[in-house]
Amino acid sequence: MSFVKRYLIPRLIQYILVTFLGLTAVFLFPRFLPVSPIEQQLAQYQTFGVYVSPEQQEEMIQTLKQLYGLEGTLWEQFVVFWKRLFKGDFGPSLSRYPTPVTKVIGMSLPWTIGLLSVTTILSWIIAVLAGGIVGYYRKRWMEAFDIFVMIIRPIPYYVMALILLILLAYVFPIFPLSGGVGIARGLTFSWQTILSILKHAILPAFTLLIVGISWQFQSMKLIVQSVRTEDHVWYSRTAGVDDRKVVFNHVIRNAMLPMITQLGLQFGSIFSGTLITEMVFAYPGVGWILYDAVMKADYNLIMGIMCISVIAVTTSIFLLDLIYPFLDPRVRYR
């Protein structure tokens, strides 16, 4: 009962508050821009040379206000925004009219979830193990790996994606340049389709893995170098415990606890890195349709993606907070 009062309820309140503030920021941000989405839409029609009479223009403005949820005062719009959000109704996608935004995102979300989940788990496991071993043994030959990580770490996702795209898809055409599956190939459960999907996903996944590992490797190495000097590690080594058991049972096991917290904090940057990587490779995930929505001024689709992004990041951090007591007994006893 004390766990619920002292740990679960405060974090649940924090989760609800942070999610509410994040979604409120999504609601307010486009409304304080100097150019409204309706003006952008009308300007786009004029760019294509479409003549719209004043009567038709006024009717279009009223229709777009209804589609965008911009009718009434700011408070009325805020209430409508939350009503539509609870219903999962972001309106139709204007660039894919009349397809609803939820359907457009639903078709792209599995691609992003698959790419993000695999790369996030793999990069975290590899960084924890590699950083733990390098930080504990500190052999001279391991310094080469440390130098390589120091070079990679400052490189943004999009730069790494462009480097891999040029090297492995253009100069050496080993992997496809773009897309998520072969041209004119339907999404069927056949070996050819699965191999095509995997082949198209290798470069985006490799980009996220390289940058993700480099970010977390150095943090794990520094934590391990601090843990290896603690008394319980020294006592285990003095007692003649096998070095591998000391590394995995005493050093890495204790050093990985702060890395779990760091994983939750870095999820936001990982999520944004996935979106940018998808834009570079034209991967059919949420990042690609976000880029397409920005280029076509699809306001409803942009709002839907931003709301889902906020909910995904805050929910992942909340779930990690719930898992943490099962990994760290000090939190349970407290």
Q: Is residue 72 part of a domain?
A: no
Q: Is residue 156 part of a domain?
A: yes
Q: Is residue 225 part of a domain?
A: yes
In the block, tokens 């790494």 appear at: 160
Q: Is residue 115 part of a domain?
A: yes
In the block, tokens 């009718």 appear at: 71
Q: Which domain holds residue 148?
A: 109-298
Q: Is residue 307 part of a domain?
A: no
The number of domains in the chain is: 1
The pLDDT, as a whole number, for residue 51 is 63
For residues 102 and 97, give the distance between their C-alpha atoms in angstroms, rounded to a whole number.
12
- pTM greater than 0.85: no
pLDDT in tens, the chain (334 residues): 566 677 778 888 888 998 999 888 888 877 776 666 666 666 666 666 666 666 666 776 677 776 666 677 778 888 888 888 888 878 788 777 778 888 888 888 888 888 888 888 888 888 888 888 887 777 766 677 777 778 877 777 778 888 888 888 888 888 787 776 766 555 666 677 778 778 888 888 888 888 888 878 878 888 887 877 777 777 777 777 777 787 777 777 777 777 777 776 666 655 666 777 888 888 888 888 888 887 777 778 888 888 888 888 888 888 877 777 776 666 555 5
* CATH number of the structural domain spanning residue 198: 1.10.3720.10
Q: Is residue 83 part of a domain?
A: no
The pLDDT, as a whole number, for residue 2 is 66
For residues 173 and 38, give the distance between their C-alpha atoms in angstroms, rounded to a whole number.
43
C-beta of residue 179 within 8 angstroms of C-beta of residue 283: yes
The pLDDT, as a whole number, for residue 264 is 67
For residues 260 and 257, give the distance between their C-alpha atoms in angstroms, rounded to a whole number.
5
The pLDDT, as a whole number, for residue 182 is 61
Q: Is residue 182 part of a domain?
A: yes
Q: Is residue 235 part of a domain?
A: yes
The pLDDT, as a whole number, for residue 184 is 55
The pLDDT, as a whole number, for residue 39 is 67
For residues 278 and 270, give the distance between their C-alpha atoms in angstroms, rounded to a whole number.
12
Q: Kindly report the three-state secondary structure assignment for every residue of the chain.
A: CHHHHHHHHHHHHHHHHHHHHHHHHHHHHHHHCCCCHHHHHHHHHHHCCCCCCHHHHHHHHHHHHHHHCCCCCHHHHHHHHHHHHHHCCCCECCCCCCCEHHHHHHHHHHHHHHHHHHHHHHHHHHHHHHHHHHHHHCCHHHHHHHHHHHHHCCCCHHHHHHHHHHHHHHHCCCCCCCCCCCCCCCCCCCHHHHHHHHHHHHHHHHHHHHHHHHHHHHHHHHHHHHHCCCHHHHHHHHCCCCHHHHHHHHHHHHHHHHHHHHHHHHHHHHHHHHHHHHHHHCCCCHHHHHHHHHHCCCHHHHHHHHHHHHHHHHHHHHHHHHHHHHHCHHHHHC
